[in-house]
Amino acid sequence: MTKRVLLKLSGESFADSDTNFGISPSILTNIANQISKANAEGIEIAVVVGGGNFFRGVQESAKGMAQANADYMGMLATVINAVALKDALDRNGTQTRVQSAITMTAVAEPYIRLRAIRHLEKGRIVIFAAGTGNPYFTTDTAASLRANEIEADIVLKSTRVEGVYSSDPEVDKSAELFANISYTDVVEKKLGVMDLTAITLCEENEMPIRVFDGTKDNNIYDVLTGKDLGTLIN
């Protein structure tokens, strides 16, 4: 069983599937319950959250904006999700801290690597918000960066599909699911699992990535506690 993991949750995973906008209280509670349950079993869990349920920098709402401005708005959206997840975890009695890459001391601690590690060692959940704090970088890259900084055992990326496929399974019904694939194959086949920077960062630091379906009952808990779901990239 892994000891310390980095869980990457998209912003859309907090929203109802029919709208992909906002936060569904029932979905948020379900995610928090699974994380709390795994944490109670001794797994050290850090979480990176996206912001796509409030603001997606590449969608219509951002057209015409300077990319940096759109990205900063996206970072602020991740803080909303981080605070919401913290609240749900707090209600479970799970000790949780939010650390933001953008300083906003009223709602989150500033991101400090050694403090984050200390929280994890004490059994607290740490939620990393605001991406890397820099425009032009995705929250997938933030997840890869933070995982390496806190010396996690693995990155667990929650998606809406079973894992990594040879093509988009929502479009191509004959798409093949990989149980295991190399970083190089992900890049060369342009499989779109994570952006190139995130994949390269993990490859250079030998950080494995497990891609799994986080929408199915209990899958988040199962993968946090070491079950081999989805696709392993290594």
pLDDT in tens, 113-162: 999 999 999 999 999 999 999 999 999 999 999 999 999 999 999 998 99
Mean pLDDT across 55-65 = 67
As to burial, measured by CB atoms within 10 angstroms (0-12 exposed, 13-18 middle, 19+ buried), residue 148 is middle
* Model pTM score: 0.95
Percent of the chain with pLDDT strictly greater than 70: 96
CA distance 126 to 6: 9
Q: Is it the case that residue 199 has pLDDT exceeding 80?
A: yes
Can you give the pLDDT at residue 20?
Answer: 84
Q: Is it the case that residue 32 has pLDDT exceeding 50?
A: yes
Contacts of 34 (CB under 8 A, 6+ apart): 218, 220, 221, 224
CA distance 16 to 25: 9
Pick the range with the lowest mean pLDDT from 40-54, 182-196, 213-227. 182-196
Per-residue pLDDT band at 64 (split at 50, 70, 90)? confident
The DSSP output letter for 175 is: P
For the CA atoms of 115, 197, 47, 12, the dihedral, rounded to the nearest 10 degrees, stands at 150
* Better-scored residue on pLDDT, 222 or 62: 222
Q: Are 148 and 117 in contact (CB under 8 A)?
A: no
Can you give the pLDDT at residue 57?
Answer: 46
Mean pLDDT across 18-44 = 95
Number of domains present in the structure of the chain? 1
Q: Is it the case that residue 17 has pLDDT exceeding 90?
A: no
Q: Is it the case that residue 49 has pLDDT exceeding 70?
A: yes
Percent of the chain with pLDDT strictly greater than 90: 82
Q: What is the secondary structure of 48-83 as a DSSP string?
A: EE--TTT--TTSGGGTTS-HHHHHHHHHHHHHHHHH
Can you give the pLDDT at residue 2?
Answer: 65
Q: Are 197 and 149 in contact (CB under 8 A)?
A: no
Q: Is it the case that residue 59 has pLDDT exceeding 80?
A: no
Mean pLDDT across 57-84 = 85
Q: Are 208 and 154 in contact (CB under 8 A)?
A: yes
Can you give the pLDDT at residue 18?
Answer: 83
Left (φ > 0), alpha (ψ -120 to 50) or beta: where does 188 sit?
A: alpha
Q: Is it the case that residue 81 has pLDDT exceeding 80?
A: yes
Residue 5, phi then psi, degrees to nearest 5? -130, 155
Q: What integer best gives the mean pLDDT of the chain?
A: 94
Residue 220: CATH number of its domain:
3.40.1160.10
Full domain range(s) for residue 148: 4-233
